[in-house]
Amino acid sequence: MPGTNTLAKNAVVGPGVDAADKAGPFWSRLALPGRAGLLVLPALAFMVVFYLYPVSMMLQTSVEPAASGATAAKAGGITFQHYGEVLDSRRMTASLERTIRLSAISTLITFVIAYPIALFLVGARPWLRTAILVFTFASLAASIIVRNYGWLVVLADGGPVNSILIAVGIIEWPLRLVYSEGAILVALVHYAMPFMILPIYGALVRLTPSQWEAAQSLGGSPWTVLRSVVLPLSMPGVFGGVTLSFAIAASAYVTPLMLGSPASAFASQVAAEELLVQLNFPRGSAVIVLLTLCTFAVIGLYAFAVRRIGQTHVRG
């Protein structure tokens, strides 16, 4: 394998070349033939053909004139008619609004529940920490269908929540808990938990003991230190967990399908329905593009806000 050869050679002479590379103009650092950099090509070629091209094809479909009729097939040009249709449809705009709203609420709840777990993990005994991490990891990897099924059972008419409420006399007849926005919210929080716990824990373990102790030795109570030192220092982990949880919730498809009803459809469901049932590719693509834009906009706004708060924090 010539590729591997050059790679290893490159790896061996690495440090010496490093300094020279950094000194040169940026084009001197471009991957030259025979260099290890070429190893990126198979992955890049694969992703261009099977990811970037198909996605750009979908973008193009969403602005093509004429929905499904063959009349204007080769008319060419760009139209925003499909986006107009989506924004005119009460059901579609409602699904977009619901997706973003429930994703934001579920992310907030996930953060509130996950942060104490991450804090606890940092101070826990090693065996307990490993046990909790393996459990968290197993629930991250467990099938989403299996996990949502668990909530179908928990919230069922004869499930434990209704049984407990009836047993303690709060209600007389089972409540209809499944197939609602509330059920979707609970399952979204549950699904996102490991994605919030792990990055926050990852940020907290990197704090040095002196960072925990310094502020405390100056007389701060644990709560003051937590708020003014630990929380700001763990922000990189919080940021990662929040953006990941939000993105996962906003692109949720299986969860609202299993625990919701047609009246609580998410944007992904509406898009899939356009494609699989209505066979309207342009409109389905338009919904997905709008959903992606909304998701990125919210994450961008959040990143902007975090940066602004960080700056005022430093200045003040």
CB nearer other proteins, residue 47 or residue 75 = 47
Q: At what angle do helices 267-276 and 90-123 cross, to 10 degrees?
A: 130
Helices (H), 124-252: 126-141, 144-154, 160-167, 181-204, 209-217, 222-225, 231-233, 235-250
Q: How far is the CB of 33 from other proteins (least distance, A)?
A: 12
CB nearer other proteins, residue 217 or residue 311 = 217
Q: How far apart are CA 229 and CA 216, in angstroms?
A: 10
Pick the binder of other proteins from 72, 138, 297, 305 (CB under 8 A).
138
Cα angle: 299, vertex 302, 306; to 5 degrees? 140
Q: How far apart are CA 235 and CA 299, in angstroms?
A: 15
Inter-residue contact 267 to 253 (CB < 8 Å): no
Q: How far apart are CA 206 and CA 217, in angstroms?
A: 20
Q: How far apart are CA 303 and CA 297, in angstroms?
A: 10
Pick the binder of other proteins from 11, 20, 297, 305 (CB under 8 A).
11
The residue to which tokens 């996962």 are assigned = 248
Pick the binder of other proteins from 245, 268, 283, 286 (CB under 8 A).
268
The stretch near other proteins (CB under 8 A) out of 90-98, 175-183, 291-299, 303-311 is 291-299
Q: How far is the CB of 177 from other proteins (least distance, A)?
A: 13
CB nearer other proteins, residue 162 or residue 264 = 162
**Contact flags string 149-188 toward other proteins, x per CB under 8 A:** xxxxxx-x-xxx-xx-------------------------
Cβ neighbours, 10 Å, residue 84: 11
Is residue 142 involved in binding other proteins (CB under 8 A)?
A: yes
**Contact flags string 34-73 toward other proteins, x per CB under 8 A:** -xxxxxxxxxx-xx--xxxxxx-xx--x------------
The stretch near other proteins (CB under 8 A) out of 75-83, 88-96, 137-145, 300-308 is 137-145
**Long-range contacts formed by 1-6: CB under 8 A, 24+ apart:** 3/38, 3/39, 6/34, 6/35, 6/36
Inter-residue contact 216 to 163 (CB < 8 Å): no
**Contact flags string 294-313 toward other proteins, x per CB under 8 A:** -x------------------
CB nearer other proteins, residue 58 or residue 306 = 58
The stretch near other proteins (CB under 8 A) out of 74-82, 88-96, 134-142, 307-315 is 134-142
Total H helices, total E strands in the chain: 16, 0
Pick the binder of other proteins from 86, 96, 114, 185 (CB under 8 A).
114
Q: How far is the CB of 256 from other proteins (least distance, A)?
A: 12
Q: How many residues bind other proteins (CB under 8 A)?
A: 112
DSSP 217-231: HTT--HHHHIIIIIH
